[in-house]
Amino acid sequence: MTRVIGFIGLGNMGEPMVMNLLKAGFQVKVYNRTPEKTKAVVEAGAEQVNRPADAAAPGGIVITMVANDQAVEELVLGPNGFGEVLGQGGIHLSMSTIAPATSRKLAAYHQEHGSQYVASPVFGRPEAAAAQKLNILSSGSSVAKERVKSIQEALGQRVFDVGEEPESANVIKLGGNFMIMAAMEAMAEAFNLAEKNGIDRQLAAEIYASTLFNCTVYQGYGQMIANKQFEPAGFQLALGLKDCNLVLEEANSTQTPMPLAGLLHNRLLASVAKNRGNQDWAALARIALEEAGLE
């Protein structure tokens, strides 16, 4: 069994994930564009390499956990990319939130080169990553998914097999982000209705989050929306808009009308036009607040 793996991307998510891999007994070769960020994991036993290509070994496994589609593509296909190194039997375990189309493209590339691609985005914030509580989606060929399973299990609480198509896990991830945004807009409107009727927003938020909607999305974002407090950003609104655009592109190409996604897009785009791209994506609630004259 492969115990040496490459890991690229030492951001808020990547660092605790590498820590868990080390704890589980894996040897991890890490690469990050800004090398300083590897410090903590190197002290914990990871080996730093200087080029993406060096994170890979022929027939080995490389995990990517980076900011966006372009970054993933460059790590694989660009100069010093690891794509050509992997070769026969190699696996690219792609854990960033990216477009289904990007997964299709990368999967095709790997197939041409004898390697395999597993899309594996996650649900969970950095705290969940540190606590090994991520929920991990996984799509790709059965053989490849089987080989990476012990790795995924070292990173999260549960692994969901979303099928053979390379992009399926990305579709589910995007759908989840869409549903979070829908929940935020619903709370925004419901809390506004409460406030306009003289009811404390916090009280409304607490009631909903401890009865009908006692799950973390409503509990966490409910607090932000009730308090009208959208900084610091856990997940930037500009990234939420990017994901919403990906949802709508996928909806368009598969002929799936999604009017609620359209409404959310409008909220997010207006927010960016008002220079709120750096606030938490829950700040989409500010448009409803403004429309109600509550800001």
Q: So which residues are the catalytic ones?
A: 173
Quick one: which of 186, 223, 234, 236 contacts a copy of itself (CB under 8 A)? Answer: 186
Q: Which of residues 189-218 bind a copy of itself (CB under 8 A)?
A: 189-194, 196-200, 203-204, 207-208, 210-218
Query: For a copy of itself, which is the closer residue by CB, 146 or 291?
Result: 291
Query: What is the closest distance, in whole angstroms, from the C-beta atom of residue 13 to a copy of itself in the complex?
Result: 16
Which one of residues 40, 114, 179, 227 is an interface residue with a copy of itself (CB under 8 A)?
Answer: 179
Within 64-123, the residues that bind a copy of itself by CB under 8 A are 100, 123
Q: What are the beta bridge partners of residue 137?
A: 160
Angle, alpha carbons 203-204-208 (nearest 5°): 115
**121 three-class SS:** coil
Size of the site for a copy of itself (CB under 8 A): 78
CB of 137 to a copy of itself, least distance (A): 7
Give 3-6 contacts, CB < 8 A, sequence gap 24+: 3/27, 4/28, 4/29, 4/57, 4/60, 5/29, 5/60, 5/61, 5/62, 5/63, 5/151, 6/30, 6/31, 6/49, 6/55, 6/56, 6/57, 6/60, 6/61, 6/62, 6/63, 6/82
For 167, the 3-state DSSP assignment is: coil
Half-sphere exposure of 219 (CA within 13 A, CB side): 5
Q: How far is the CB of 121 from a copy of itself (least distance, A)?
A: 12
Residues 220-239, interacting with a copy of itself (CB under 8 A) = none
Burial of 92 (0-12, 13-18, 19+ CB in 10 A): buried
| Residue 22 in contact with a copy of itself, rule: CB under 8 A | no
Per CB under 8 A, 250 contacts a copy of itself: yes
Nearer to a copy of itself (CB atom), residue 8 or residue 284: 284
The answer to whether 158 contacts a copy of itself (rule: CB under 8 A) is yes
- Decide whether 30 or 167 has the Cβ nearer to a copy of itself: 167
Q: How far is the CB of 195 from a copy of itself (least distance, A)?
A: 8
Minimum Å distance from CB 176 to a copy of itself?
A: 5
Q: Which stretch binds a copy of itself (CB under 8 A): 24-32, 53-61, 70-78, 155-163?
A: 155-163
Report the b/e string of 34-57 with b at 16+ CB within 10 A.
Answer: eeeebeebeeeebebbeebbbbbb
